[in-house]
Amino acid sequence: MRTSRISRDTSRILVARRTQRTLRQTRSGANIATRNADSVTDGLKREDHAASDSELSSVPADSGSDGEARPLKKRKRGQDTPIIVKNESKEVSIATIDSPKRASKPKKARRAPAKKVTGTDGSVKIEPPANWEEIYALTREMRNENLAPVDTMGCESLAERTRTPRDQRFQTLIALMLSSQTKDTVNAVAMRGMQERMPGGFNLESVLALEPATLNGFINKVGFHNLKTKYIKQTAELLRDKWDSDIPDSIEGLVSLPGVGPKMAFLTMSAAWGRDLGIGVDVHVHRITNLWGWQKSSTPEQTRAALESWLPKDKWHDINNLLVGFGQTICLPVGRKCGECKLADRGLCPSAVVAKGVKREKSTNVKKEESRVKGEVPGSEAVVKREEVVDEIREIKAEDAEAMVADIEDIGKLASGRTPRKKI
């Protein structure tokens, strides 16, 4: 069926009007334009569908009468540009997905020493360092896992239990006097030698009867043995003449003895008399508590006063053994094992230094020696190779490190406090 010319023109006019109306509506906003564009598209689809049903050929709006495509008109300035929303889908490979982050290590603790807090009534109270109880408990846990020389050869355990209480107290005092700048292993051997070989047994009377040279022979392996020989002989005479052949039972009396300082006095009162009158601050207690930031002190006496101001009294006796053993096994004076310390792992030690990727490994060196020996046949020589396997630990031992650190007792001070030479 053929359509008339009038029908075709009418259809063309209707489509052109709808297109112009749609273009005007796009100026009211991007969202309205988008929706109207969809409706126009649907309308065009319906018109095309209706035209196909009526067997009428629709003419596109941008086509001329001759069927050629018309160029799109440029939009004037000031006209709103419709927003075209594009839905893009991106493919993400498994390789590009970030793996879950590892748990970050705890931050290093800040130094938070004990503080003085003044109350409203004018009273002064010492506030303990933060997390000190957790630090103390973890240190005790590490001490229980690692046996230290002080646990088996400490001065408190060297006295003979078969002797009288008076002799035990005297041996404890002598052991502490010998311990200055001396390793526990060396000190224990010297004490055992006197207990086994001293004529009449190891007691005050036997020491008084010994010649200084003989006494020096018993203790010649300990540090400053010549000076200690003189101090022990003088102390024995004072105990006989002034203290009824027993050791003093007060801090004042003990520090009055030659070579006995505050640390020895407090430890002697605790080990010999069972009275905790103060904290025995030795090199390990002084060093480690400053590393923890519990106080900032330059002398052992300052450390003792700072600790006694807030540390519970039931820990005054334990803290010395705790930190001495900790300083012998993990927190060494030289080459601290922060990688094995639970305090460093939990971010509780402000002085922890953990090197990444550094492992202390045990290396085996083979020393080869060649020696030429004469063979059985005259004029012949046989080469004999001998290999010796030597195990080396590439770190300083705890005992050697202790000897490198200056002691804080009076013996060390007097030994280093000799009259200096005059400069010319």
Grouping H, G, I as helix, E, B as strand and the rest as coil, residue 381 is strand
- From 183, 228, 233, 263, active-site residue: 263
Distance, in Å, from the CA atom of 301 to the CA atom of 280, rounded to the nearest integer, reads 10
CA distance 86 to 94: 25
Q: Which amino acid is at 249?
A: D
DSSP string, 332-345: -SSS--GGG-HHHH
388 with 378: CB under 8 angstroms?
no
Q: Which own/partner pairs from 92-96 qualify as long-range (CB within 8 Å, at least 24 positions apart)?
A: none
Cα separation, 327 vs 40, whole angstroms: 87
Mapped onto helix, strand or coil, the DSSP state of residue 400 is helix
359 is annotated as an active-site residue: no
Between CA 351 and CA 355, with CA 352 as vertex, the angle to 5 degrees is: 135
Cα torsion 221, 192, 195, 231 to 10°: value is 40
Q: How far apart are CA 189 and CA 225, in angstroms?
A: 14
Cα 79 from Cα 23, distance rounded (Å): 11
Catalytic residues: 263
